[in-house]
Structures are given as structure tokens and as C-alpha cells.
Amino acid sequence: MTSVGVIRSVSKKKTLLVCNKGKACPRMGSGDVFDCLKKALDHTEFGEHFKVKQSDCLDACKYGPVVKVKPEGVVYGKVGAKECIKIILRHLKKKKPSKKLVVAKKK
């Protein structure tokens, strides 16, 4: 693969932002959510296309722990280990948001 191909593939990566630096989400287990998503992506083919990053507050505290998918802007709330798998299988694999978990979407 040429260096241009590598740059294009890296720039197309989508990002899963996990609120881990706010006040509410860390108390609700966002650290575990981050670890779960990171491990799941590290051990599947999805890791080539998605990355997980810690984030400041995503302004959805009452729905914590919160995960935002960029660039789509879909925000998932009340995320736990089971929901991490749903997000990966539904949103990342089938390219459709898991509607039951969505709390906000970029307008």
C-alpha cells in the first residue's frame, strides 16, 4: 500500500468517544465502557476502521455513561458492557444506529 493509501485509510477511521473526564459518567462506569470497547475493537477486524478515545463531557450527563460516534454525531446513553457489544454489532458492523440506545443525533 502506498503512503497515500495509508493516509486515506487512517483518515477514514471513525471515532468512538467515551465520556471519561466529566463528572457524572466516570462515577457511572465509563472507564469500564472505554475498556470494553477498546478490547472489543482490538480483538476484531473493526479495530482497523474505528478507534476509541476518552472524551471530556459530552453534555448528556443524565444518560451516562455516554458514547458518541464521530463523524455521524450519534450519542448513545446508559452504555454498559452489553450495550458496547450492541453498538459494535449494530452501528459498526451493520452501519445502523442501535435506536434503543440513541439519546441524541447531530442535526
Q: Kindly indicate the confidence band of residue 55, based on its pLDDT and cuts at 50, 70 and 90.
A: very high
pLDDT tier at 44 (50, 70, 90 boundaries)? confident
The predicted structure's pLDDT at residue 43: 86
Phi/psi at 94 (5° precision): -90, -5
Q: What is the strand order of the sheet 74-76 is part of?
A: 50-55, 14-19, 67-70, 74-76, 102-104
Q: What is the average pLDDT score of the chain? A: 85
**Structure confidence at residue 93 as a pLDDT band (50, 70, 90):** confident
Mean pLDDT of 72-87: 92
